[in-house]
Amino acid sequence: MTQSANFPAPARDICGTMLVHRRLLNDSMTYRAQRARIENRALQYETGRRSAVRNEVLTIPVVVHVVHNPAHPEQNVGDAQVHSQIDVLNRDFRAANADVSQVPEVWRPLVADARIEFALATRDPLGNPTEGITRIETDRDGFDTSDTVKAAETGGADPWPSDQFLNLWVCQLQGGLLGYAQFPGGPPQTDGVVILHTAFGTTGCAASPFDGGRTATHEIGHWLDLLHIWGDDDGACSNDDRVGDTPNQASSNTGKPAFPHVTCDNGPNGDMFMNYMDYVDDEAMFMFTRGQSERMDACLEGARASFVVAHQVGTAKAPAAAPAAEAPSEAAAPAAPSVPPQAPAAAPAPAAPAAAPAAAATGGNGHAAHDSEVERLLREVLSEVQDALGIVTGDGR
């Protein structure tokens, strides 16, 4: 097991996402308003008043910022460890993980393929070829949930535009933290996910019991608007994760629980502790549910719609997916807001990237996107931008 002398490898899962969420709620009226809108959209999807536009696999471009102190060479995780993490994400979000077979029979019909994949970016914000990994030396001993790892001036690495890339920071975290994410609706300059280097991927310095790559699966679940499965109500059974097909449970589970584990009168099947949004060991979590996938759809077609628009436009332009006679022309495509390629977005709402990532252009199931779907998603993005600007200027709807 690889560990820092100052910060021993954690023995149990500790996620800092709710600390960040509560801090933003306290500090930012804009964030409060954005979160209310995002929750309202999620409710509309859950109750059937809105439905997902997307019916194919979405590939999200990823940049991994490895922030390492040269005094601790193990923090500079290798490319193989980075690639092992991407492989885990692509299995987990597609329900293609071998251990999904361990889901109790009563819940197997709920197992969801979220139709989301991840690929290291092949172009940087300026359009230059990249392997999707940056390596930044730091003189800091470690980081916490204050987001200092997300800026060069505070010893970390600046993000790439967060409406075009999922930013992952890998570093030494203090206080037993395995990772944390920022929910959608927060400041773009700190949007992304932070993972402890020993809880990242499945090789290199990844350390048991968090060497299965599931910390990133859990945190990216937050980034896509999933809550902890127990509702973070300190065992009161009064709150849940706002997903209909996950049983309410009292608190987080740890280690490798035995099925069933009954709390909150949720018998006979008890807690769905094998869900990625619980706190169990990596080898004891295997599934997202259909309801969680639906909530992720609401997020991807709302606050994070820029990724879906880029994908839809990319597949519409792909020659292999759309015959030339039927492919929409650029001149006919609806206008979309653009973002300067290098600067982080100025407003909290997403903007449509000027060009789709290469992986997206050939990703999915090869079906051409319909013009109407692209237009609808663009309208969703424009609505998000208008609402966000209204909130910032005090002219919100």
Tell me which residues are annotated as active site.
Answer: 219
Question: Can you read off the two tokens belonging to residue 83?
Answer: 């690639």
153: CB partners within 8 A, 6+ apart: none
- Overall residue count recorded for the chain in this entry: 397
Dihedral angle sign, alpha carbons of residues 375, 223, 4, 209: negative
CA dihedral 196, 197, 198, 203 (to 10 degrees): 140
Beta-bridge partners for 58: 116
Q: Within 10 A of 153 (CB to CB), how many other CB atoms are there?
A: 7
What single DSSP character describes residue 170?
E
What angle is formed at CA 117 by the lines to CA 331 and CA 386, rounded to 5 degrees? 50
Q: What is the secondary structure of 109-152 as a DSSP string? A: GGB----EEEEE-SB-TTS-B--SEEEEE---S-B-TT-GGG-G
Beta-bridge partners for 272: none
Question: Can you read off the two tokens belonging to residue 150?
Answer: 């997300």
Dihedral angle sign, alpha carbons of residues 182, 131, 209, 240: positive
Helix (H) or strand (E) segment spanning residue 297: helix 290-300
293: CB partners within 8 A, 6+ apart: 112, 113, 114, 115
Nearest to 223 by CA among 38, 33, 27: 38
Residue type, 299: C
